[in-house]
Structure 1
């Protein structure tokens, strides 16, 4: 039996001409997917008014989410993570069952004792590695992982606490399109040789190099989250029809051969890959300016886009494992028990979402998508 449940209905009247029958079938054909409620294993919720504006979109679609800690100041302690969790819960719609899973921001000064506190809290589930200067609000990140962070990583390995890796080097002499490949070669591979029991999630992978590396690692030790944008867009999408700031994210979109490699990996049925949107909202003016922020806001459209990718690959029967099973299995958490339905039904993405401080432009703003969340 396939992982997800298909319900397709077709109606026709046999005495009608064949051409009319085909038209009739197309008009009334309906496909629904019943999925165990997915989780988002890489999500930016920000804070303040922006948090209040975006958290309902994630809560509508997902049961849980691994929440990124790169605020200002970053979430570097268990106490700060617990306080941030409370602010997220307060921003949720009434009766929402959405559960934020908190993370710590790794720095050169993070201590093994903080990892013990995090594990005992029952609210912190991972630690995020940002190489200093690699992306938004990463200036406080790690400068020397081998010289300053090994005791912390050893403690994490003892507790099976995953290290979530933004896998890019920050050396200005390395081409931006090669930074993931070089990170794997010079940092990640040597790190895993030193600490083979450390669990690692390679976040938002973008290259064939990442896929090839993951496939060489022992199962259950290294996995990857994959975003809608890196499955559907290549680097041409940054420049088609002029500069497209709302398609700019980090890691940056790559060549088509890399996109195809990631699609093949994700739709293969491998349990090493799972859903992580890296949804990263910015107010429109911070995207459409002389120095635009990196980040794509995709929470409202993510499930529609993942379904599109799997449908195009002829792999809809593998969608549920990617969205709902592989992530909790890797983290050692129970799978969700509730269900959602996706229906093959067109809908138009809003041009923007307004909130008190301005507006947020979602991925594929103004475009028509073919899969929609269906509420009974």
Structure 2
């Protein structure tokens, strides 16, 4: 077993001794990072091809974002939403403009953004659509990953995320991902929203059939149902556009954002929608002590400004073509399939060769960090600051691992 060959640092053993085992991390202990590279406690460097599940789209310690954080730390970090602060208006205005929406509701984590979206959709359904009290339903997709709160796991189809956490929250209908006919059948007069990932990340970077998102948009408009796009992993440049929905020219009623919005420095999430949707909330009905705090807003505003130039979207599109082409060249050479868009890829390894975990361990030994999911699948999501040479290096290491 490869695990027997891996040296386990004392820091790994210490972490396992004093930490709940809700994760099974690779046995590497990172102590510093810059750009697309991280360094462990022994001084070994690794190319980071996970980027914090897309939280590090701009790489580790991007100088513009670090400067914004340092400057804000010297002035003000938290007020709570009981008061306004001087970073709040800029963040909300500029993010709303980036999304093409009227309003922004800042939160902290992706799961909080999803919970916010669910609450807003239900309230909209009761107050605007006229759904009878307590009857609202939301349609979701099989294979979804929207977080791990009690409500969110209630409509998960992942047994690891869901089992033994009941009783579960009602009000959700699950249909196959990419199946427009099944979605059409599931919507009734009490449906208030369709909640989807434009690309399913945790499921293995699953891209829906061409035309699916466009069909969802038309259906939601026709049936007076909100289309909520969970762009927490897929958004903010990851797929070669600001939002993955743009690949089909689709604009949802509500964006759920997170991960990269915090620049890899602080947790920041947000819901963006127009006034007729987010305007249903009134004071006291939803909130967060840390949501929209000064430090978060200062960093996230710079993230929005980096995206507003279009540079990172263009990099992701161009470099993504190189990554996808290199990986597709390995189909039949240990890979069964490759999926993805931009700098985001899901690789299905021939299960007769090795598991996804084993592949990630062998990649780690070769200085590349990636993450497995669902048995024999691994995901690659390098920072958007990665270079052509670094992409070629990552693909070469994948090839070497597959070749044994």
TM-score computed with the length of structure 1 as normaliser: 0.31
